[in-house]
């Protein structure tokens, strides 16, 4: 008798199980297989304001393009603004002109990645219409070195920096191709690891990197190198976000202040 009960419950359980598992299986096929209708719905068509170079350059507006890595993007800012946000706020208070900021920062971007993006026609027209291009790049290029062993650092550095500087040169050329008269603002590197691994060597590398970058930038009369190294050196605890790498809101505000102070007269004067 017990056997019959066992048997019938087994039958029912397996029948139900079979139905459920089959549903699961076909659902899985559907999800990984043919196009589901939701896929089409989620993609919105381009809603970027396509400002062509011709339509732009009204003197009553200041157009800023911010591009580069996660620092450009504003990663780590608990308010989500990043220096581009604060810069916009600041400039708004300073002038009567319209301030528009396009931020196209991408986490983890390196110089080669940015060079690639620069080929983009849309970015080209954005830069052409801009009054100022703010670039933050190189942190990720340099970070490759950190992930390598210390012994190879010295040797690897020169090589790596060479590639970086080359890319940077190309980058400047690229921007100038789109626009000959836009201001280029380059945000220098800071060292977020100062207290953790304050090796002299490390500090040395960042300084060399910044120095060489600055020399390259300043060769262009309408470009400026904004150092950030000094802002963070004694204020890591206040300015670095909880991920230990990116600036926090205060850090971004500090960077923004630097940039604003350097460029405010350019726009006011016009």
Binder among 56, 106, 115, 163 for another protein (CB under 8 A): 106
Binder among 36, 199, 265, 268 for another protein (CB under 8 A): 36
Answer for the pair 203, 242: CB distance below 8 angstroms, yes or no: no
CA 264 vs CA 77, 91, 196, 222, 261: distances in Å? 23, 7, 36, 14, 6
Burial class (CB in 10 A: 0-12, 13-18, 19+), 85: buried
Binder among 1, 2, 5, 38 for another protein (CB under 8 A): 38
Answer for the pair 87, 139: CB distance below 8 angstroms, yes or no: no
Q: Which is nearer to another protein, 114 or 165 (CB)?
A: 114
Binder among 12, 27, 55, 146 for another protein (CB under 8 A): 27
* Sole window of 116-124, 141-149, 163-171, 216-224 interacting with another protein (rule: CB under 8 A): 116-124
Alpha-carbon dihedral sign for residues 99, 84, 132, 270: positive
Judged by CB under 8 A, does residue 125 bind another protein?
A: no
Binder among 2, 48, 54, 200 for another protein (CB under 8 A): 48
Answer for the pair 105, 68: CB distance below 8 angstroms, yes or no: yes
The site string for another protein over 229-268 (x = CB under 8 A, - otherwise) reads: ------------xxxx------------------------
Judged by CB under 8 A, does residue 46 bind another protein?
A: yes
Pairing of strands 61-68, 98-105: parallel
Measured distance CA(203)–CA(140) in Å, rounded: 16
Binder among 64, 87, 101, 123 for another protein (CB under 8 A): 123
Rg for the chain, CA atoms, rounded:
26
Binder among 18, 58, 116, 215 for another protein (CB under 8 A): 18
Q: 3-class SS at 113?
A: helix
Total residues at the site for another protein (CB under 8 A)?
51
Judged by CB under 8 A, does residue 10 bind another protein?
A: yes
Binder among 71, 101, 104, 175 for another protein (CB under 8 A): 104
Judged by CB under 8 A, does residue 25 bind another protein?
A: yes
Judged by CB under 8 A, does residue 77 bind another protein?
A: yes
Measured distance CA(106)–CA(75) in Å, rounded: 9
Residues 188 to 217 in contact with another protein, rule: CB under 8 A: none
Binder among 12, 23, 61, 198 for another protein (CB under 8 A): 23
E strand residue ranges, the chain:
61-68, 98-105, 132-136, 183-187, 223-226
Least Cα distance to 53 among 155, 122, 145, 135 occurs for 122
Residues that bind another protein (CB under 8 A): 3, 7, 10, 13-14, 17-18, 20-29, 31-33, 35-36, 38-39, 42-43, 46, 48, 73-80, 82, 102-107, 117, 120, 122-123, 241-244
């Amino acid at each position: 008798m017990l056997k019959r009960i066992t048997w019938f419950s087994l039958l029912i359980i397996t029948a139900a199980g079979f139905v459920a598992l089959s549903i699961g299986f076909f659902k899985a096929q559907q999800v990984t297989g043919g196009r589901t209708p939701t896929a089409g719905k989620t993609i919105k068509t381009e809603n970027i304001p396509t400002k062509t170079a011709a339509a732009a350059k009204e003197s009553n507006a200041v157009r800023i393009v911010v591009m580069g890595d996660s620092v450009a993007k504003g990663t780590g800012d608990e308010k989500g603004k990043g220096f581009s946000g604060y810069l916009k706020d600041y400039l708004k208070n300073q002038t009567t002109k319209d301030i528009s900021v396009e931020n196209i920062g991408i986490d983890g971007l390196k110089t080669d990645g940015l060079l690639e993006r620069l080929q983009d026609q849309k970015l080209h027209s954005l830069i052409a219409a801009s009054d100022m291009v703010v670039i933050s790049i190189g942190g990720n290029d340099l970070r490759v070195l950190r992930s390598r062993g210390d012994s190879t650092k010295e040797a690897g550095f020169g090589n790596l920096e060479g590639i970086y500087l080359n890319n940077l040169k190309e980058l400047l050329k690229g921007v100038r191709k789109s626009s000959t008269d836009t201001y280029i603002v380059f945000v220098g590197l800071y060292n977020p690891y100062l207290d953790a691994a304050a090796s002299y060597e490390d500090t040395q590398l960042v300084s060399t990197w910044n120095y060489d970058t600055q020399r390259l930038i300043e060769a262009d009369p309408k470009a400026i190198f904004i150092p950030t190294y000094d802002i963070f050196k004694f204020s890591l605890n206040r300015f670095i976000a909880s991920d230990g790498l990116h600036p926090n809101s205060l850090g971004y505000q500090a960077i923004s202040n630097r940039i604003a102070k350097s460029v405010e007269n350019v726009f006011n004067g016009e």
